[in-house]
Chains A and B, each alone.
Chain A
């Protein structure tokens, strides 16, 4: 699939969601897994837009890329906000606290990591890169469907 570039505003969540749904369908993910993937991407994109751009008084784009191989679907989100690793929200002192007392931003990141098979982050070329990986069902990567 062609990568998608959208402005870093909340209005873009819908089009990002549609892109992810199309990628999930191409990967042969079942509806439940596709829903989880969309949730994870939604959470990360919301964090980028709200915290990375809007609250920081910055403007920028979000680049979304879907990559398929035999075994996995990888969704990558890139932005030009200040370097920020969402996994920092998952430190034990956050997770061990009662749900009500956890830092507000942590809920979304927690949902993301719980929803997907793998979540990674890197900072490359002045860009945050959030990487979300879902395993494809066995057989979905065959030439007939992939």
Chain B
């Protein structure tokens, strides 16, 4: 699976944008977990997970997000989501994850949310 990563400078720090593309299932999730761990393990706890290129999501992907979120929050950061397609959103709503994660339309909106919380 292809994963595009970008560092975004915002007021008060850096935001790490991780954008997996394609199917997020038990086969492909380890690659995403590695990308998340690379950042979280390095103390980069302000993560935006851009889901706009994700065509399919199973519980393996949901679990990876949950673990990353816990880890980021333990370090004083968070994992924010952006660009969810309707099908991915439906799965989120089915399982109640929409109340757990902050979801934004665009990466820039999520990054701005980090900047805002840093300023607060």
Contacts and interface: CB of A to CB of B under 8 A. Distances in A.
B27 A13 contact: yes
Contact of B26 (A13, A39, A110, A111): A13
Nearest to B62: A107
A104 B62 CA distance: 10
The majority secondary structure among interface residues of chain B is: helix
A14 B94 CA distance: 23
B87 A42 contact: no
A106 B87 CA distance: 21
Contacts of B97: 99
A114 interface: yes
B25 interface: yes
Given A100-B100, A111-B59, A13 B25 contact: yes
Interface residue tally of chain B, by bracket? 10 to 19
A55 interface: no
A29 to B, nearest CB: 14
Given A110-B95, A111-B94, A115-B94, A32 B59 contact: no
B25 A46 contact: yes
A99 B94 contact: no
B96 interface: yes
A46 B28 CA distance: 12
Interface string A104-125: 1001101100110000000000
B59 A108 contact: yes
B96 A99 contact: yes
Contacts of B100: 99-100
A14 B87 CA distance: 19
B102 interface: no
Interface of B: 25-27, 56, 58-60, 62-63, 66, 70, 87, 90-91, 94-97, 100
19 contacts: A13-B25, A35-B56, A42-B26, A43-B58, A43-B59, A46-B25, A46-B26, A46-B59, A99-B95, A100-B66, A100-B100, A107-B59, A107-B95, A108-B59, A111-B58, A111-B94, A114-B94, A114-B95, A115-B94
